[in-house]
Amino acid sequence: MPEHTVVHEAQNVVAREPPHHFFKSQPRPGHVKDAEQYMKMYKQSIEDPSGFFGPMAREHLHWDRPFTQVRAGSLQHGDSAWFLNGELNASYNCVDRHAFANPSKPALICEADDESENRVITFGELLRQVSEVAGVLKSWGVKKGDTVAVYLPMIAEAVVAMLAVARLGAIHSVIFAGFSAGSLKERVVDAGCKVVITCDEGRRGGKTVHTKKIVDEGLAGVDLVSKILVYQRTGSAGIPMKPGRDYWWHEESAKHGGYLPPTPVNSEDPLFLLYTSGSTGSPKGVVHTTAGYLLGAALTTKYVFDIHPEDVLFTAGDVGWITGHTYALYGPLALGTASIIFESTPAYPDYGRYWRIIERHKATHFYVAPTAMRLIKRVGEAEIAKYDTSSLRVLGSVGEPISPDLWEWYHEKVGNKNCVICDTMWQTESGSHLIAPLAGAVNTKPGSATVPFFGINACLIDPVSGEELKGNDVEGVLAVKDSWPSMARSVWNNHSRYIETYLKPYPGYYFTGDGAGRDHDGYYWIRGRVDDVVNVSGHRLSTAEIEAALVEHDGVSESAVVGITDELTGQAVIAFVSLKDGYLQDNASAGDVAHITPDNLRRELILQVRGEIGPFASPKSVVVVNDLPKTRSGKIMRRVLRKVASNEADQLGDMSTLANADCVPSIISAVETQFLAQKKK
Ligand code: WTA
């Protein structure tokens, strides 16, 4: 049965109540007790956002100067703003206030790649470390409004670095440590970062990642960067340090005292940039502001996950992506809740790793992308029962659709039917959850992200007419009708691109880029992206960026990249390339130096993408074809390629607009021999 049929059938299920024990087993009630209370609060948040979010902002955040107006601006003009004239500091909110109240409380529970190196950092200790690193940055001249790049693996120091930057009122731009040297450079240059924070090497799954080497390669000749702070993660000998530019974290921080006062910033001053992929062009530096973002992070963590101060949240995502920003750092720390920072992989040293972490630290919340669960289900399921995971109350899912089957499996095998499953739909741009059930209060349905969070005026739009679809049992594209506190405010250095991408497609609405349905109960079902963004293992990839990486290769004339459904990774990237005339023949006769066969060319092209973007963007397969299918106006028809790669060549549909329909049979046979036949092996 095709996947969409399964999902549509699943929509007919009756919403499930939370497990019987959810609240009974707790020493205290949930923050929101039932669906009725959710509805009442939701209604107020939409009808009177100022009356709802004003008190929420005063209750959850510490203000150095109170705001005088809750919100202003409009989606039409792209000038939304929240908590006007207020001043605050994110680092103070996430560290100082908890350190003063409870210095010995764990803030970061660090699970190192090698379990013998685990450590716990208390709020008191975190304050000292953040102050020291902020002291170093300050002595280098970093000040309010400057951008600082952070290129670190998922270790506590990434959190320390981000908070140190925020402490000075500067703007962090975290670059996922899986990005290649070229991608790092592109992001550092676009954001104008003069300072980069990194480490000597990373450790992941027992392997060494040569982090500093990648930084050196990426920043060679980039004069913009005047200082690099290098955390000694492995302490390997022979890490080259460029005099006058590169400094050791431990040596520099030792020179600075234990407390550096935070710099208050305006509510609307940027807290961070995070680059994300869109359907066209280079990656966009999504801009999040201080107050609105922080409030969105705190409120969703508290209400969606029903987090209480004594809880332990295990967000298994990397701080290089938005999930790590919001739910490993800002959400839990703003609430003073401990966060588990996991450096390794679910498979290292064995498939028991997640469950040991949960047992060891009595994690109450586990938050992960479905792709990790698909892997465990396939190869590591037997490990779960070996550990005591009874501390868990909430199991979150993020980044890609979770199928009803996998939802049930997660509920039964990981949650022992005693946990609430929170399927949370959101984006880098939304800053925090858009659609998600409030744990324990909102009934769930396997496969549905359920209902909008407070302040999210969610709606569906008919993509053809551009009209909003009223009522239930409708399908369209997911949009939001008003701004919400943690909505991205801009694209760095390119506000018009922000407007074009998110606000222009449907004037008056924020456009998510996702298709969705709303069922008879008003529950949302996310269908996936409607643009050229592919979601592989919960990583958001732009087909345009991968295509650009492929055409960098001398042999490639044109490329087209499509996403197809994949059992393990959700979607997989299949790349089609046509070669420059005579490329293979010329090289085949050019002697042993450049002896290129179609097979090793395909391998080379995969390496090309790994090198240009990063290993996580590797195509599953590269198919070399003679020609790509194009319309008369020269547009590549990716739909045809997607169907062929999905082994659905019998459902190609209308091809009358193709200018070169005669190339299709040879594409079908190229896919058969170069991809499908290999898959069967
Ligand atoms: C997809 C990740 C279905 C969606 C937090 C969105 C989801 C994109 C879900 C954003 C979910 C995220 N169900 N799809 N629960 N969560 N997505 O910016 O297509 O890396 O637009 O943020 O992931 O990816 P991003």
Residue 261 token pair: 């006062």
pLDDT score, position 20: 57
Burial of 359 (0-12, 13-18, 19+ CB in 10 A): middle
Q: What gap in Å lies between CA 204 and CA 569, rounded to an integer? A: 19
67 CA distance to ligand 1 centroid (A)? 32
Q: Which residues contact 272 (CB under 8 A, 6 or more apart)?
A: 162, 166, 171, 172, 173, 174, 288, 293, 325
pLDDT score, position 3: 47
Q: Which residues contact 213 (CB under 8 A, 6 or more apart)?
A: none
528 CA distance to ligand 1 centroid (A)? 8
Spell out the alpha helix ranges (H) of 519-582. 543-551
**Closest to 588 in 3D by CA, of 577, 600, 578:** 600
% of the chain beyond a pLDDT of 70: 95
Tens digit of each residue's pLDDT (9 = 90 or more) over 63-117:
999 999 999 999 999 999 999 999 999 999 999 999 999 999 999 999 999 999 9
83 CA distance to ligand 1 centroid (A)? 27
pLDDT score, position 24: 47
What is the tally of helices (H) and strands (E) in the chain? 25, 31
674 CA distance to ligand 1 centroid (A)? 31
Burial of 514 (0-12, 13-18, 19+ CB in 10 A): buried
Domain covering 61-344: architecture: 3-Layer(aba) Sandwich (3.40)
Phi, psi of 60 (to 5 degrees): -95, -20
**Every domain range in the chain assigned CATH 3.30.300.30:** 533-680
Distance from the Cα of residue 233 to its chain's centroid: 24
526 CA distance to ligand 1 centroid (A)? 9
675 CA distance to ligand 1 centroid (A)? 28
Measured by CA distance, the residue closest to atom 14 of ligand 1 is: 400
Q: Which of 277, 421, 425 to mutate to test the pocket of ligand 1 (most atoms within 8 A of CB)?
A: 425
Tens digit of each residue's pLDDT (9 = 90 or more) over 326-336:
999 999 999 99
Measured by CA distance, the residue closest to atom 8 of ligand 1 is: 427
Q: What gap in Å lies between CA 167 and CA 172, rounded to an integer? A: 11
CA atoms within 13 A on the CB side of 477: 19
Tens digit of each residue's pLDDT (9 = 90 or more) over 599-644:
889 999 999 999 999 999 999 999 999 999 999 888 899 999 999 9
pLDDT score, position 488: 98
| Residue 516 CB less than 6 A away from ligand 1 | no
Direct distance between the N- and C-terminal alpha carbons of the chain, in angstroms, rounded to an integer? 24
pLDDT score, position 28: 55
DSSP structural state of residue 425? B
How are beta strands 490-491 and 284-289 bridged, if at all? Answer: antiparallel
Cβ(580)–Cβ(556) under 8 Å? yes
% of the chain beyond a pLDDT of 90: 86
425 CA distance to ligand 1 centroid (A)? 6
Cβ(536)–Cβ(573) under 8 Å? yes
pLDDT score, position 644: 95
Cβ(173)–Cβ(606) under 8 Å? no
Q: What gap in Å lies between CA 92 and CA 276, rounded to an integer? A: 27
Report domain 533-680's class: alpha beta
Residue 174 scores a pLDDT above 70: yes
Residue 216 DSSP SS3: helix
pLDDT score, position 512: 97
| Residue 374 CB less than 6 A away from ligand 1 | no
pLDDT score, position 654: 84
DSSP 630-647: BBTTS-B-HHHHHHHHTT
Average pLDDT, stretch 505-533?
Answer: 95
Measured by CA distance, the residue closest to atom 3 of ligand 1 is: 401
Q: What gap in Å lies between CA 619 and CA 626, rounded to an integer? A: 19
How are beta strands 468-469 and 458-461 bridged, if at all? Answer: antiparallel
Cα dist from 626 to 215, 583, 598, 602, 605, whole Å: 38, 12, 12, 14, 16
Q: Which of 424, 427, 524 to mutate to test the pocket of ligand 1 (most atoms within 8 A of CB)?
A: 427
Q: What gap in Å lies between CA 417 and CA 390, rounded to an integer? A: 11
| Residue 449 CB less than 6 A away from ligand 1 | yes
433 CA distance to ligand 1 centroid (A)? 10
Cβ(271)–Cβ(304) under 8 Å? no
Given pLDDT bands bounded at 50, 70 and 90, which one contains residue 17? confident
Task: Determine the atom of ligand 1 nearest the C-alpha atom of 397.
Answer: 15
Given pLDDT bands bounded at 50, 70 and 90, which one contains residue 679? confident
| Residue 501 CB less than 6 A away from ligand 1 | no
**Every domain range in the chain assigned CATH 3.40.50.12780:** 61-344
95 CA distance to ligand 1 centroid (A)? 29
Task: Determine the atom of ligand 1 nearest the C-alpha atom of 526.
Answer: 3
Task: Determine the atom of ligand 1 nearest the C-alpha atom of 513.
Answer: 21
| Residue 424 CB less than 6 A away from ligand 1 | yes
| Residue 91 CB less than 6 A away from ligand 1 | no
Task: Determine the atom of ligand 1 nearest the C-alpha atom of 423.
Answer: 15
pLDDT score, position 595: 60
Tens digit of each residue's pLDDT (9 = 90 or more) over 561-609:
999 999 999 999 999 999 998 887 766 655 544 567 778 899 999 999 9
Tens digit of each residue's pLDDT (9 = 90 or more) over 468-516:
999 999 999 999 999 999 999 999 999 999 999 999 999 999 999 999 9
| Residue 524 CB less than 6 A away from ligand 1 | no
pLDDT score, position 22: 59
195 CA distance to ligand 1 centroid (A)? 30
Mean pLDDT of the chain: 93
572 CA distance to ligand 1 centroid (A)? 15
271 CA distance to ligand 1 centroid (A)? 22
